[in-house]
Structure 1
Amino acid sequence: MASAAAPAKWPSASALLALVALVLVYAPPQLIDLLAYDRQAILSGQWWRLWSGHLVHYSAWHALVDVAMLLLCGCVLEPLIGTRRLCLSLSCSAPLMAIALMSGVPALAHYRGLSGLVVMMATMTLIALWRGAQLPRHWLVLLTALLLLKTGCEALGISTGSNSLPPGIRVMWQAHVLGVALGLLEAALNSRLTRPTRAERS
């Protein structure tokens, strides 16, 4: 059977990602504009924005809320699946999410924030806890229902009272839906890769 990734002793990748996002809050506006998701700039060849657009935010409060949720998920998820797997998931999912937004939401000119990746991590966390029986199943079902309810309310334009965006900036619910989808995809791929072959089971 394929060996599982060594569990992380502490969430180093999550902490580093959170630190970078917080530091960038105080970056010069010109640098933030250079890093943010900008559809036309990406189409012109500025590919780094597929990754860096997730790291910059519209305000300090926006960043703090995203970072708090990132650390909450990371403290649970990273020790369960390992730092290497989490880094691989984030580095692959960040551009995939940005490309999907470019394809599926062509009217979206600008985007900033970690929330899409945080939703992906939350989905991965719930799946990892379910597989490892780390929490009673009824609690996991409730948490999953709350995540899906929040995402559904955002898609319908119903306020959940948790919007940290400045006035005039709307929640990009499509990124949150993509986060759920990418979290499910990552879990499915990992399950397939770690599934023992017939020879290994015998």
Structure 2
Amino acid sequence: MKFSALFTTCCAPLALLGLTLLLAVFSTELTPLLQFDRQAVFAGEWWRLWTGHLLHTNSWHLAMNLAGLVVITALHGSYYQRWQFLFLLLCGFLLISLGLLFWSPAIGLYVGLSGWLHTLLVYGACEDVRRHWSSGWLILAGVAAKVGWEQWHGASGDLVLLIEADVATDAHLYGAICGVLLFGVLHSFQQIRRHS
């Protein structure tokens, strides 16, 4: 891959990484204003449906999520034009938050990028499958096993201690489902554009 193509591929993920790091610097002041907060959303603070995903409970939580972003970008980054990445980001954040809002009433507060990282990984795996690469099926099977295990047994106790918060495993489930749904939407849109 040429440097210019690599730069274009990494531009949107780098912007997300930078924004997330910037928000982490001011997390004490910003978390109460930006975290997903069920009662605040129902009171009309709609921005929280997007902004909560950019915040983290502590530096371990932040480091793990940003490491995940780097790995997924290295794995599938060439699949995303900037507009696709932005579409996946905005729609994924929104759909995951709506899932939490309407189907996970026990979750009152939520921060973190991990649910959306499931969206990005599953979207990339679906693109692998479309390209007839067996790695896509392996990734989808791995994500399905992980999410299924979390739904059945919950998150690891060590992880809960590390990030100093309960792990919102439902966000991982909704994120994985969003990856499949958004792949279907974008793939259908691309097919329509090709035939029009």
Alpha-carbon contact 2:9-2:81 (below 8 Å) kept? no
Greater RCO structure (CA 8 Å; 6+ sep): 1
Instruction: Classify the secondary structure of the residue corresponding to 1:11.
Output: helix
Bigger radius of gyration: 1
AA aligned to 1:140 is: G
Matched residue, 1:58: 57
Where structure 1 has 5 or more consecutive residues not aligned to the other structure, the ranges are 1-5
Deviation by residue 1:103-141 (Cα, 9 ceiling, x = unmatched): 0012211000000100000001111122234x5x1x333
Of 142-151 and 114-123, deviating more is: 142-151
Cα distance in 2 for residues equivalent to 1:80 and 1:8: 13
TM-score by length of 2: 0.86
Deviation by residue 1:130-174 (Cα, 9 ceiling, x = unmatched): 2234x5x1x333322221111111111255588366476222111
Alignment counterpart, residue 183 of structure 1, candidates 175, 179, 184 = 179
**Alpha-carbon deviation of 1:8?**
7.3
Matched residue, 1:9: 8
Matched residue, 2:126: 127
Matched residue, 1:154: 150
TM-score by length of 1: 0.84
Where structure 2 has 5 or more consecutive residues not aligned to the other structure, the ranges are none
Going by fraction, where is helix more abundant, 1 or 2?
2
Cα distance in 2 for residues equivalent to 1:7 and 1:128: 19
Cα distance in 1 for residues equivalent to 2:44 and 2:77: 33
How many residues are aligned here? Answer: 192
Matched residue, 1:3: none
Matched residue, 2:26: 27
Cα distance in 2 for residues equivalent to 1:36 and 1:49: 6
Matched residue, 1:42: 41
Q: CA RMSD in A?
A: 2.6
